[in-house]
Structure 1
Amino acid sequence: MATKRLCMVGAGRVGRLHTRSITEHVGHRAEVTAICDPSREIAAELAADYGVGLVCATLAEALERGTYDGVVITTPTFTHHPLALTAIRAGLHVHLEKPMAMNLVECAEISGAAEAAGIALQLGFMRRFDSDFVAGAELLRSGEIGDPMIIKSLTHGPGLPPAWANDIRTSNGMIAEVNSHDLDTISWYAGSEPVDIHTRVANFKGAQRGVVTEHFYDTLVATVTFESGAIATVAGVCPADYGYDARVEVTCTAGMVQVGHTGPGGPASIVAGTALRGEAVYRSWRDRFADAYVREMVAFVDAMDGAPLRVGAADGTRAVGLVLAGTLSMLEGRTVTVAEVQAAGFVPAWQTRTGQ
């Protein structure tokens, strides 16, 4: 088959990671032929590092100047909807980083356009491509340890996110930017649809880190119930100064499964920057999921060739529904059903104030 031509939209950390994965691991089947970023300087630097010939400020410019088979979108959440629709309407396959979009109306428009165009739309939930997380899902599906009863998932990330991600008006907050992965994982592992969510948050470090954005929080615990009766908890901390931490534990009717460690050696207890027992903690999500990110790009190229998607629009939409319900729960201090935010008349009021 002909080599797939890919346009990388976004030249930040994730764009750089995907460009490297494609160049170094999928180069015999696909190549990045253009890089787009509002900062031409950043885009040009990435292009020079990986021998990409075309640098553009926008996807529209790239479409005018080149021909592609697919795009990889790694830009801020509030840009996903217009960029995805532009790519889909140009007939291109799309890898779209999480969260899928800002709200369910946007998700529906992206999903509908992709289905009508007959293109592959892969969502950037890299845990779906991690060997340990996949093995856990396969064990749960086998029935060997019975049915899931309690699912506990956490993501703790080092460092503050970009300023736009601290603002629920432009990102839906940490539950979207950090814990979308957990919301997808608990749904994947439960094998059932979520019913409701109750979210509690706290802000321990914002003031000392100079964050004054309204409704900013750096600590989250959410409880989710599923149609199957399973109960899940999601915990998030960002910034977590000790490193990057992503784990899940499932207690089932006939056993249990744990996935993930705080580091290659799995220290039992730690303080900021120091492991008291065991090996060093993962410093970054790039370290913890290095292999998964490569497999993710391999799977995208496979999907462009007609292979079934491992994670797609329905999964992205489900996670956004939980993000919206979780944010509403945080703002109103109550349990919120997913049906509330799926209702035709629901509008995320916190997003109406954004100037985007």
Structure 2
Amino acid sequence: MANVRICMIGAGRVGKLHSSTLRRHVPGGEVVALVDPVRSILDATGDQFGIERRYASLEEALDGTAFEAVIITTPTPTHRDLAVLAAARGKHVFLEKPMALSLAECDDILAAVERHGVLLQIGFMRRFDPDFAAAWERIQGGEIGEPMMIKSLTHGPGLPPPWATDLKTSNGNLAEVNSHDLDTLRWLMASNPRRMYVEVANFKGAERGVTTEHFYDNMLATVKFESGALGHISGVCPCDYGYDSRVEIIGKKGIMQIGEMKGESIVVCVDRDHGLVTPIFRRWPDRFRWGYIRELEHFVACILAERPPQVTGADGRWAVAMVLAGTRSFLEERPVYLQEIMG
């Protein structure tokens, strides 16, 4: 197989990002079809990236174009049905986070890819970011000793889409924004979570027109791991100062920090009263540019080499379980054990 032919499902901002990444940076992957039910979005993205075959549904794409894999970037409530259908037709699946709304949906996806012998990779791009990947290697090498505590923050500038603000159609910001933090904690600590406690607050929702019940724009989560280690997550969305993602790991021998607020190695001074100005990352695609490139390189390489991806469906399922535990925690105002969620 010279190239992996890919059907991009979802023509919105993430679909555009992945289409651009494949076109510019991953020569082994080719987007040959595009799916989106909104015709104006479908045509705009198709025109932008020269994708001629455009469909309103995956069913139409499967019948109309030959391809080996799909990339699913649509809203979370659609993930289960799209992934199961693609797997049933023998297509490898790259599935954006969060994996699904429930563990039952996750299990349906896992069963489908296993039954039909296709690959599944979850879109946790931080695992492919050079800084995060190097940190993982150094932690595994024992540089800071046994990890005791980890702190992760993700503060994003924009409101989530309307469907993601309602717990009836989404699991909230804990899923749509902080799934990356949840996966990062479990990955870097090399331990599964045992217990979670979450507090949430809503400071900006009303002034920005969000009236859905249980909406929150600030979140603090505490995690106790099976290893005995502790974790902490800070989530703010919307956060008006820019995009901010940082992690700190404290080990028995030392401390490791990943990321910084400074977005570019540029300092500007045009006014001595205001002093030095350093840019911050404006958006998540800027901060994790190389992570997005390398995760798709990895997906295509795994298909060509017929080997399983590093980020599996089991990883996606754990993140969903943590989201569900955290949501139950703030709704019931108590710590929640993962065994309550996972049975």
TM-score by length of 1: 0.92
Distance of 2:154 and 2:319 partners within structure 1? 15
CA drift at 1:119: 1.1
* Alpha-carbon contact 1:206-1:212 (below 8 Å) kept: yes
SS for the counterpart of 1:15 is helix
Identical aligned residues as a percent: 52
Equivalent residue for 1:13?
A: 13
Equivalent residue for 2:23?
A: 23
1:314 aligns with 2:314: yes
Equivalent residue for 2:255?
A: 256
CA drift at 1:277: 5.7
* Alpha-carbon contact 1:266-1:281 (below 8 Å) kept: no
Distance of 1:200 and 1:277 partners within structure 2? 36
1:193 aligns with 2:180: no
Equivalent residue for 1:231?
A: 230
Equivalent residue for 1:46?
A: 45
In structure 2, do the counterparts of structure 1 residues 24 and 151 end up closer, same or farther at CA, with 3 Å as the change threshold? same
TM-score by length of 2: 0.95
Note the 1:190-339 alignment, pairs <5 A.
190-265=189-264, 279-305=278-304, 306-339=306-339
Distance of 1:198 and 1:239 partners within structure 2? 22
Equivalent residue for 2:152?
A: 153
Equivalent residue for 1:2?
A: 2
CA drift at 1:307: 3.5
CA drift at 1:315: 0.6
Distance of 1:339 and 1:237 partners within structure 2? 28
Distance of 2:143 and 2:105 partners within structure 1? 39
Distance of 1:147 and 1:116 partners within structure 2? 38
CA drift at 1:263: 2.6
1:100 aligns with 2:92: no
Question: What's the Cα RMSD here?
Answer: 1.4
* Alpha-carbon contact 1:250-1:257 (below 8 Å) kept: yes
SS for the counterpart of 2:282 is coil
SS for the counterpart of 1:195 is strand
SS for the counterpart of 1:170 is coil
User: 4+ runs of 1 displaced by more than 3 Å?
Assistant: 275-278
Note the 1:35-74 alignment, pairs <5 A.
35-74=34-73
The Cα offsets for residues 118-144 of structure 1, whole Å up to 9 and x where unpaired, read as: 211000011011000011111111112
CA drift at 1:24: 1.1
SS for the counterpart of 2:233 is strand
Return 5+ residue gaps in structure 1 as ranges: 268-274, 344-356
The Cα offsets for residues 105-163 of structure 1, whole Å up to 9 and x where unpaired, read as: 11111111112222110000110110000111111111121111110001000010100
Note the 1:110-121 alignment, pairs <5 A.
110-121=109-120
Equivalent residue for 2:271?
A: none
Distance of 1:63 and 1:79 partners within structure 2? 17
Amino acid at match of 2:342: Q
CA drift at 1:265: 4.9
Distance of 1:333 and 1:12 partners within structure 2? 36
* Alpha-carbon contact 1:40-1:55 (below 8 Å) kept: no
1:143 aligns with 2:142: yes
In structure 2, do the counterparts of structure 1 residues 265 and 93 end up closer, same or farther at CA, with 3 Å as the change threshold? same
The Cα offsets for residues 80-100 of structure 1, whole Å up to 9 and x where unpaired, read as: 000000100010000000000
The Cα offsets for residues 42-86 of structure 1, whole Å up to 9 and x where unpaired, read as: 111111111111111111111111111000000000110000001
Equivalent residue for 2:81?
A: 82
The Cα offsets for residues 2-25 of structure 1, whole Å up to 9 and x where unpaired, read as: 221100000011000000111111
CA drift at 1:266: 8.3
Equivalent residue for 1:182?
A: 181
Distance of 2:248 and 2:265 partners within structure 1? 15
The Cα offsets for residues 145-186 of structure 1, whole Å up to 9 and x where unpaired, read as: 111111000100001010001111111001000000000000
Report how many aligned residue pairs link the two structures.
335
Distance of 1:170 and 1:248 partners within structure 2? 30
Amino acid at match of 1:320: V
Amino acid at match of 1:25: H
SS for the counterpart of 1:168 is coil
Amino acid at match of 1:246: S
Amino acid at match of 1:5: R
In structure 2, do the counterparts of structure 1 residues 276 and 211 end up closer, same or farther at CA, with 3 Å as the change threshold? farther
SS for the counterpart of 1:134 is helix
* Alpha-carbon contact 2:264-2:281 (below 8 Å) kept: no
